[in-house]
Amino acid sequence: MEQKPNKKQQARFFLKANPGIYGKGHKQITSDNLVQIDDKHNISSIPISSPIGIYVRQKTKFVNKNILINFLLILSIVFIILLKFVFVESFNSVFEKNIESVISKLCFAYIASFIFYFIVIKRSEKNKKKEAYAIICALNDSLITHGNNVKKWIHEGAKEEIDTSLDKDIFKKICSKVDLNITPKGLNIKIGDLIFLDGVKKVNYYIEKIFIYMPFLEGDLLIHLNKIQNCIFSRTITIIPYKSQNNLKEYSNDILEFLQLIEELKTLNNSLKVKFLKNYEKTY
């Protein structure tokens, strides 16, 4: 009986690593960088977000604005004390008296400007920023909750107790055991969909809500939110429905990075609460 030759099985993979040059002498591709795609899907049609770079200003040596303003205030007060009380009899000629008058008026003008700046502008800006952060910190709380939901649904899909240590090897085993197609008891939605809809999609939703308050955002918070949106897991989670395997083994390091960023945001958010929300109480 004639035997038909076996056709070589071809596997298609999607590279989910960050942009760069890969190959000899450059970055090396590992199995964790590749996602095997089901044969019935066309790789070119898979939706994926491209990474967004941000421009970071180079640190240069300069005088702090607040230090300079306070220094000029002290200098003005010292000049007035010297001119009006210490050296008051030292100005005899008309020219000397005119010089003393000009310097004194400049010092008094600066003190008046400082008082106006501090009471009208600085206090007003600070109050507006406090009101903004009352909302921003609450949005961060919701963002952190949904970020941690990714971990919750992964453990639910692996039928494991939630591990809070975020150990790399343990987490990889858990991700290998996840079944993305199972439906949790009492719900009518798959684990894979919950990870996306109740996790990453909600995180991105709250980040967009926070960006509405862009003029008030601290630089550290802005950069950290961009890191969460720009991490590999956030950008490539849309590949999951096209995977040939129903686990998240190749995503373990990316998910771990995402969860660590969420933990870091929690620490940052707590510091913002201390800074801006001293006498505030959260209500629903």
Residue with the two structure tokens 């390091």: 253
* Tens-digit pLDDT profile for residues 25-60: 556 666 666 666 666 656 565 666 666 666 766 666
13-27, 112-126, 193-207 — most confident range: 193-207
* Residue 179, SS3 per DSSP: coil
CB-CB contact of 146 with 181 (8 Å): no
Q: Give whole-number Cα distances, 9 to 6, 39, 182, 184, in Å.
A: 9, 11, 28, 34
CA dist 190 and 246 (Å) reads 11
Residue 104 pLDDT > 80: yes
Residue 160 burial (C-beta neighbours within 10 Å; 0-12, 13-18, 19+): middle
CA dist 14 and 106 (Å) reads 68
Domain ranges of the chain: 42-49+59-276
Instruction: Centre a 10 Å sphere on the Cβ of residue 149 and count the other Cβ atoms it contains.
Output: 20
CA dist 100 and 106 (Å) reads 10
Residues in the chain: 284
Residue 140 is predicted with a pLDDT of 97
Residue with the two structure tokens 């939110």: 225
Say how many Å lie between the first and final Cα of the chain, rounded. 77
CB-CB contact of 225 with 169 (8 Å): no
Mean pLDDT, rounded, for 133-140: 96
CA dist 30 and 251 (Å) reads 12
Residue 65 is predicted with a pLDDT of 77
Residue 120 is predicted with a pLDDT of 82
* Tens-digit pLDDT profile for residues 182-236: 999 889 999 999 999 999 999 999 999 999 999 899 989 999 999 999 998 998 8
Residue with the two structure tokens 């980040």: 207
Say which residue, 165 or 157, is predicted with more confidence: 157
Residue 1 pLDDT > 50: no
